[in-house]
Structure 1
Amino acid sequence: MTGDRLLTSLALLGRRKGGAESGGARAGLEALEKLLGADAIRASVDYYISGEPGSELARSVLWLLHPRSAMDRCHQIYLEADQVEDRRAAVELLRVVADSHALQWIPLYLNDPDDQTQMWGIGIVDQLLTSSLVNFEDCAAIVTVAASHPNEHVREKATWIRTNLTRL
């Protein structure tokens, strides 16, 4: 992208209703996601799942950006992957790229037959609360269900969340 096109793109991304400009950290991250493009974001998710050298750096960048396209790709991989390791990795990555939109998927992950996927699922709730991306009220029902989950580790995490993160 040339310098002029980049500046024009940024100017358009900064416009909100009424033609007024806005900014801030979240707006900047959303602009970066749009400039990089959803295809590049999804490819970064795929690269992380592959475990190739540099995959942890891809994870770090995705964590910083919290792009919606990465969340959607993680969930898509979970739904479509044949290998349990890929489904696990997708939910694990979702733990650090998720926002409140991912809460709707947590019951699915908690009902997965794989114990580790279940743990990553409740880990998403932990991370969202710790990062102040949701309030406890947003996920209280999930934590209540997790507190009586068959997986002992999920139950322990739910108890820890209820004990330590209810004020968030």
Structure 2
Amino acid sequence: MQVNWKKLATEIGAVDQYGTYLSLKAIEIILGEDFFAQAVKYSMSLEDGWCLSEGVLRVLRPLGMKHCYNIFKNSHDLEDRRGAVYLMKYVSDRDILNYIPEFLADPDEEIQRAIVQILDQMLFWGEIEHENIIPILESAINHPNKEVRRFAIGEVHGETIHGMDSFIENLADALWDELYRWKRRFKFETIHGFDLSCLPWHGQIKLSFQTSQEDFELSEAYSDECEWYFNTWRLGDLPCDGYKIESVKKWMKMEYEKSGMSLQCLELFLNACATAVKSYAVQNILQEYNLSPDFQVTIFNFNAAKPWKNYYKV
């Protein structure tokens, strides 16, 4: 495809200028309206290849957001409108704030609730700051939708860690990747225990597997005499260094330090880790391991007094 750059530059007012906005405008013209409309629709379909189409929209986030908004605004199909708004969670930038009041005012409760996930994801990515959303959410404190109201109250009064829902979702996704990576190596192992260590002060999340081939009695695996019990496991303290989990660990450490390393923040992260492990994706990949009948999952706070509480069982 040949592009007449001189003509295109003249058309968008970029003869002697450059910038992200102008570049995106040029891409939109080159690819055409139909390209983005089709990419948005295909991403919503979840048919084979939808990950690729959504990935392209993520790279071109402002343009993907614009075309999702067009579907929300103009479609008469409720499911299409819902799907487009949900997709905006992944293909938007800070300009999404301009659309939030419309979503809040929409009569459909699912579209109203979508703002919780959208704003949470934008906060997690750092596309927006907490102070950017306060004026919008102050007006939503009395919103008739219970989930919207709870999110608004928590954000306005500082009762939540901004981006925690996205932390859980991204952690679950990253854990699936890590467990999939280790699965083949442990093909002939019988797994009796899986431990997830959450160490926000170090920005670390570590995996440990207890197998049937240990040099100690399995009944002693969680002994109070062994303070760092997973260090005695043959497959303990495994490295987690995939690109997905690295971003999750970095964000966790940053938020923990911002809290002044509070115990309340630590509790939130331990519970969030438990929620991520209980997700369908993580539970599903764990079932592909050779698990013993007494298999158990543990998530402990090693700085607490014994006996340790297992956050996975709470």
TM (normalized to structure 2)?
0.41
Q: Distance in 2 between matches of 1:55 and 1:36?
A: 22
Q: Distance in 1 between matches of 2:111 and 2:140?
A: 13
1:79 to 73, 78, 82: 73
Q: Deviation string for 1:31-87 (max 9, x for gaps)?
A: 995697243233211222334332233223322331x22111111100111111111
> Can you give the 5+ residue segments of structure 1 that lack an aligned partner in the other structure?
none
What residue number does 2:50 align with?
Answer: 55
Cα deviation, residue 94, structure 1: 0.9
Task: Say whether the 8 Å CA contact 2:103–2:111 is kept in structure 1.
Answer: yes
Q: Distance in 2 between matches of 1:86 and 1:113?
A: 15
The 1:156/1:60 distance shift into structure 2, 3 A limit, reads farther
SS in 2 for 1:47: helix
Task: Say whether the 8 Å CA contact 1:88–1:117 is kept in structure 2.
Answer: yes
Q: Distance in 2 between matches of 1:71 and 1:62?
A: 8
Cα deviation, residue 122, structure 1: 3.0
**Residue 165 in structure 1 maps to residue 162 in structure 2:** yes
Q: Distance in 2 between matches of 1:142 and 1:31?
A: 28
Determine which structure has the larger strand proportion and give its number: 2
What residue number does 1:119 align with?
Answer: 113
SS in 1 for 2:56: helix
Q: Distance in 2 between matches of 1:41 and 1:134?
A: 24
Task: Say whether the 8 Å CA contact 1:100–1:134 is kept in structure 2.
Answer: yes
1:122 is matched by which residue type in structure 2? Answer: V
Q: Distance in 2 between matches of 1:125 and 1:52?
A: 26
The 1:17/1:87 distance shift into structure 2, 3 A limit, reads same
TM (normalized to structure 1)?
0.72
* Count of residues paired in the alignment: 154
The 1:94/1:17 distance shift into structure 2, 3 A limit, reads same
**Where does 1:1-168 land on structure 2 (aligned, <5 Å)?**
1=1, 30=24, 33=27, 37-39=31-33, 40-66=35-61, 68-161=62-155, 162=158, 163-165=160-162
> Can you give the 5+ residue segments of structure 2 that lack an aligned partner in the other structure?
164-254, 259-314
Q: Distance in 2 between matches of 1:164 and 1:36?
A: 41
Question: After the TM superposition, which segments of 4 or more aligned residues of structure 1 sit over 6 Å from their partners?
Answer: 16-19
Cα deviation, residue 131, structure 1: 1.0
Identity %, equivalent residues? 29
Determine which structure has the larger helix proportion and give its number: 1
Cα deviation, residue 136, structure 1: 1.8
Cα deviation, residue 156, structure 1: 2.3
Task: Say whether the 8 Å CA contact 1:122–1:146 is kept in structure 2.
Answer: no
Q: Over alpha carbons, which structure has the higher Rg?
A: 2
